[in-house]
């Protein structure tokens, strides 16, 4: 079974018995922890002062040759803030335990013939610390982190850095579902808004237009049935912060006109009021739809599109980011294993190959969900293919050989045979359907291989399978 999540974990062992202290240090090393030792109160203070923020735990003897270990706790914490201190003693004494906790100790432990309980207690502290560190790292990533080193992501970061100083410029974030548009918005917020200012997101497709209008602009008391008191809207609550209008392509046309006026004048009115109020916040918009096409279809205002598209930033799909898939996968594995209190070795070649072969129609969000499930299922030292969903494992299963005699030198499926064309009956769509069906027959149903034969991506193939009724709804998220 997997053990505690591994991250740099250093322990200061303070005990007047050199033999005992070194024995603990040796056992901690076997458990994957680093340690330093001190044999007196003075030495412990000197080591702690010389290693600022360097320890994740301190194991402290109650009785030291030059003082009381419990009285030493405040001095140690002055040099190692928030560092857990575990006090050791040869005899159990409730008053001493209470005093140790009062002085800032995490726990009060009785020495036993074996040092295993001490090492196990420190391992537990390490697991908790690792989980907190991973959670903090993930929170920071959600706030302002854009993972990845692919050239396309470097370009995204460069664009966001350039526009960060222009707080009055509206930014349009585009990209498929799950690519991280909100993460990019938070990244921009962290670099342009005043520290501590709000980041507020509104889903433009989740509520009726009337409710979104009240949510955005606020309302006065009595403005409509149920408005028992005045309420600020998002533009007002955000102050000098950031407002993200998510799925802007689904916003009601009437509300689009009101939003355009807000963006142009930087002023708004609460519902039921004639008083104009200023907009201080930066406004960002995000969509996974083609706004230019929506303009052509008449479901999105051309003038609003022009106003939003002053500075468009497109986030690439995960399938176009190469090795970033593996970088992000390792990040997610580290986060979930730490949160669940387990340790996993680096991803093996088979799992890496499977992760790279998949198209990720759900993008980063899908990769994150895949790895959370895999870590939950893990019963080995590292993730294995059996821990991944079937849709990823299928990409690694060789397709069966096609029916008929094999040609010399054949090493895989042959291209689909010629498709019969019936004049006056067949259309471009029916021919495309026939080609897809023939490719799937040739590859024994292996979608990735069929897509390769057809010269399209697996995701494009899945979309066409849905279009022609050859796959159920929701297949894109398989």
């991803």: which residue's tokens? Answer: 347
* Residue 327 and residue 296 share a domain: no
Instruction: Look at residue 210 and tell me whether its pLDDT is greater than 80.
Output: no
Length of the chain: 478
Encoding tokens for residue 4?
A: 């505690």
Q: In whole angstroms, what is the distance from residue 160 CA to residue 163 CA?
A: 5
- C-alpha dist (Å) from residue 154 to 126, 147, 216, 316, 475: 35, 10, 33, 11, 31
**Contacts of 256 by beta carbon, 8 Å cutoff, 6+ apart:** 300, 301, 304
The overall longest dimension of the chain from CA atoms, in Å, is 101
Q: In whole angstroms, what is the distance from residue 250 CA to residue 258 CA?
A: 15
Helices and strands (DSSP H and E) totals, the chain: 19, 16
Q: Are 367 and 332 in contact (CB under 8 A)?
A: yes
Instruction: Look at residue 411 and tell me whether its pLDDT is greater than 50.
Output: no
| CA 422 to chain centroid | 51
* Residue 249 and residue 122 share a domain: no
Residue 144 lies in a domain: no
The number of folded domains in the chain is 4
Return the exposure string of 438-458: e unless at least 16 CB atoms fall within 10 Å of the residue's CB, then b. bbbebbbebbbbbbbbbeebb
Q: In whole angstroms, what is the distance from residue 204 CA to residue 383 CA?
A: 39
Instruction: Return the percent helix, strand and coil in the chain, to nearest 5.
Output: 50, 15, 40
What is the residue range of 284's domain? 151-315
Residue 284 lies in a domain: yes
* Residue 96 and residue 29 share a domain: yes
CATH number for the domain that contains residue 443:
1.10.10
List, as one string, the DSSP characters of 201-258: EEETTSS-HHHHHHHHHEE-TTSSTT--S-EE-HHHHTTTSEEEEETGGGS-HHHHHH
* Residue 183 and residue 99 share a domain: no
Q: Is 59 helix (H, G, I), strand (E, B) or coil?
A: strand
* Residue 159 and residue 101 share a domain: no
Q: Are 456 and 440 in contact (CB under 8 A)?
A: no
Residue 305 lies in a domain: yes
On average, the pLDDT of the chain sits at 82
**Contacts of 139 by beta carbon, 8 Å cutoff, 6+ apart:** none
Instruction: Look at residue 222 and tell me whether its pLDDT is greater than 90.
Output: no
pLDDT digits (tens, 9 = 90+) for 302-356: 999 999 999 999 999 999 898 899 988 988 898 888 778 787 888 888 999 999 9
**Contacts of 474 by beta carbon, 8 Å cutoff, 6+ apart:** none
Q: Of 42 and 408, which is predicted with more confidence?
A: 42
Last residue of a domain, one of 396, 417, 448: 396
pLDDT of residue 421: 52
Running DSSP on this structure, what letter comes out for residue 53? T
Encoding tokens for residue 275?
A: 């008083």
* Residue 42 and residue 63 share a domain: yes
pLDDT of residue 53: 62
Please give the average per-residue pLDDT across 387-406, as a whole number.
60
pLDDT digits (tens, 9 = 90+) for 241-290: 999 999 999 998 989 999 999 999 999 999 989 899 999 999 999 999 99
Encoding tokens for residue 25?
A: 């240090």
**What does DSSP say about strands 276-278 and 267-269: parallel, antiparallel, or unpaired?**
antiparallel
pLDDT of residue 302: 96
pLDDT digits (tens, 9 = 90+) for 278-288: 999 999 999 99
Lowest mean pLDDT among 222-236, 298-312, 379-393: 222-236
Please give the average per-residue pLDDT across 353-367, as a whole number.
91
Running DSSP on this structure, what letter comes out for residue 193? S
pLDDT digits (tens, 9 = 90+) for 144-203: 457 788 889 989 999 999 999 887 789 999 999 999 999 999 999 988 888 889 999 998
Running DSSP on this structure, what letter comes out for residue 271? B
CATH number for the domain that contains residue 370:
1.10.8.60
Residue 5 lies in a domain: no
* Residue 323 and residue 311 share a domain: no
CATH number for the domain that contains residue 67:
3.40.50.2300
Q: Of 425 and 34, which is predicted with more confidence?
A: 34
């Amino acid at each position: 079974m997997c053990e505690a999540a591994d991250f740099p974990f250093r322990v200061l062992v303070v005990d007047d018995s050199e033999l005992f202290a070194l024995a603990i240090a040796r056992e901690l090393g076997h458990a994957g922890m680093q340690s330093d030792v001190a044999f007196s109160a003075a030495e412990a203070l000197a080591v702690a002062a010389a290693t600022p923020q360097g320890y994740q735990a301190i194991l402290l003897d109650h009785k030291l040759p030059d003082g009381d270990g419990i009285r030493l706790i405040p001095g140690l914490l002055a040099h190692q803030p928030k560092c857990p201190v575990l006090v050791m003693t040869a005899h159990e004494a409730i008053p001493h335990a209470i005093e140790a906790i009062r002085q800032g100790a995490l726990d009060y432990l009785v020495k036993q013939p074996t040092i295993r309980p001490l090492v196990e207690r420190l391992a537990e502290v390490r697991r908790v610390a690792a989980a907190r560190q991973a959670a903090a790292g993930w929170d920071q990533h959600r706030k302002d982190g854009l993972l990845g080193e692919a050239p396309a992501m470097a370009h995204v970061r460069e664009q966001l850095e350039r526009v960060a100083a222009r707080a009055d410029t509206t930014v349009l974030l585009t990209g498929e579902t799950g690519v991280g548009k909100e993460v990019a918005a938070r990244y921009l917020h962290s670099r342009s808004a005043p520290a501590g200012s709000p980041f507020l997101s509104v889903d433009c497709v989740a509520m009726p237009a009337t409710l979104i209008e009240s949510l955005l602009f606020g309302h006065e008391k009595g403005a409509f049935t149920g408005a028992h008191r005045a309420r600020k809207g998002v533009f007002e609550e955000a102050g000098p912060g950031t407002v993200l209008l998510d799925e802007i392509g689904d916003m009601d046309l009437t509300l689009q006109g009101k939003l355009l006026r807000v963006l142009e004048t930087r002023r708004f009115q609460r519902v039921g009021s004639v008083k104009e109020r200023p907009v201080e916040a930066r406004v960002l918009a995000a969509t996974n739809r083609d706004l230019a096409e929506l303009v052509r279809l008449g479901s999105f205002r051309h003038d609003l599109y022009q106003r939003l598209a002053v500075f468009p930033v497109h986030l690439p799909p995960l399938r176009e980011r190469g090795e970033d898939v593996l970088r992000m996968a390792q990040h997610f594995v580290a986060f979930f294993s730490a949160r669940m209190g387990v340790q996993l070795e680096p991803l093996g070649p088979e799992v890496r190959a499977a992760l790279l072969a998949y198209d990720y129609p759900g993008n980063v969000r899908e990769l994150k969900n895949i790895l959370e499930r895999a870590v939950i299922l893990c019963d080995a030292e590292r993730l294995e293919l059996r821990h991944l969903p079937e849709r990823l494992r299928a990409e690694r299963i060789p397709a069966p050989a096609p029916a008929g005699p094999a040609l010399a030198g054949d090493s895989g499926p042959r291209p689909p045979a010629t498709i019969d064309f019936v004049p006056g009956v067949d259309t471009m769509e029916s021919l495309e359907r026939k080609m897809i069906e023939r490719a799937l027959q040739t590859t024994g149903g292996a979608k990735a291989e069929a897509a390769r034969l057809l010269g399209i991506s697996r995701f494009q193939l899945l979309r066409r399978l849905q279009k022609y009724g050859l796959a159920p709804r929701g297949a894109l998220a398989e």
